[in-house]
Amino acid sequence: MNETVISYGLYLVIAIAMTIWVAKTLHKSGRIFLVDCFRGNEELADSVNHLLVVGFYLVNIGFVSLYLKTDTEVVGAQGVFEGLSGKMGVVLLMLGGMHFFNLYVFTKMRRRATLAQMAPPIPPMPQA
């Protein structure tokens, strides 16, 4: 087995493991936030949370798969580590970007939900 195949295998194992870890963390920690966004509707929050995790898996594992191929031949252990570090750096940046995108969307949803619950502003008092 040559170094290119070894680096492909390591890349897939590490990238998919990282994707699963981030997805589980987001699913676990995001539930409370979603329940708040949906005004205590736990069933809706759990459903949306599950759908977000499925979408997260599809986007990230799709990206990992598309980004698998390398144009240069990997030679030796140094080449395996250099190629792997470059690819994993991009994958980790992608995971971080997806995380911040999810936070942005959740924050927008929460802000909308909180505004809908607020009492209307008090009209100004006429001055005598």
121 within domain boundaries:
no
The answer to whether the pTM exceeds 0.85 is: no
| 120 inside domain | no
For residue 106, what are the domain limits? 3-76+85-115
Domain assignment present for 11: yes
Residue 122 lies in a domain: no
The answer as to whether 89 is a domain residue is yes
- In this prediction, residues 73-98 reach a mean pLDDT of 87
Question: By the 8 A CB rule, do 19 and 64 touch?
Answer: yes
The domain tally of the chain equals: 1
Q: Is residue 59 helix, strand or coil?
A: helix
**Which pLDDT score is estimated for 20?**
92
CA–CA separation, 101 vs 103, rounded Å?
Answer: 5
Residue 46 inside a domain? The answer is yes
Q: Establish if 128 belongs to a structural domain.
A: no
Residue 44 lies in a domain: yes
